[in-house]
Amino acid sequence: MSLFESRAEEIERVETPRVQILFYRVGRSTLVTRAAGHPELEHIERLIRRSEDLIARMGVIDVVHDWFEITGYSSEIRPRMAPWAKKTSAQHRGIHIGTASSLVRMGITMVHLFSGAPVHAYATLSELEKAMTEVLANPP
């Protein structure tokens, strides 16, 4: 299974006609998502809640997103994510996002430029898995 799903804890699945998202934690402080389809604002709110819960427990976290199967996203997401990423950038040791979508990559770049959050983009699943292996080998 990819992205250490076999070690997953605190598993949560969201499935609607437009999107499928799997949230889970690996180790003490790494939040992982795997998403397919077209996320809406409510899905990002869930991601924010999950991140804030883990930040409250651990102080600093890593986040790994397998977003290779995202086809697009709601226009409301970027204006919501950018200020939140800026507010919490000190609590994110790294935000690792895998995507092949130029639209998603543009959104990642905009959030990074606005927030200064430590965002890293990966073009392949193997690159993302390597980054996650390094994250788990060196926890905060």
Q: What is the pLDDT along the chain (140 residues), one digit of tens a residue?
A: 488 999 999 999 999 999 999 999 999 999 999 999 999 999 999 999 999 999 999 999 999 999 999 988 899 998 998 889 989 999 999 999 999 988 888 888 888 888 888 999 999 999 999 999 999 999 88
Query: What are the boundaries of each domain within the chain?
Result: 2-137
User: Which CATH class name applies to 2-137?
Assistant: alpha beta
Cβ atoms within 10 A of the Cβ of 90, count?
13
- From residue 49, give the alpha-carbon distance in Å to each of 21, 31, 55, 86, 101: 14, 11, 10, 16, 25
What's the CA gap between 108 and 105, in Å, rounded? Answer: 5
| Token digits of residue 132 | 């996650």
pTM (two decimals): 0.93
Q: How many helices (H) and strands (E) does the chain have?
A: 4, 6
Length of the chain: 140
**Residue among 127, 74, 80 nearest 100 (CA):** 127
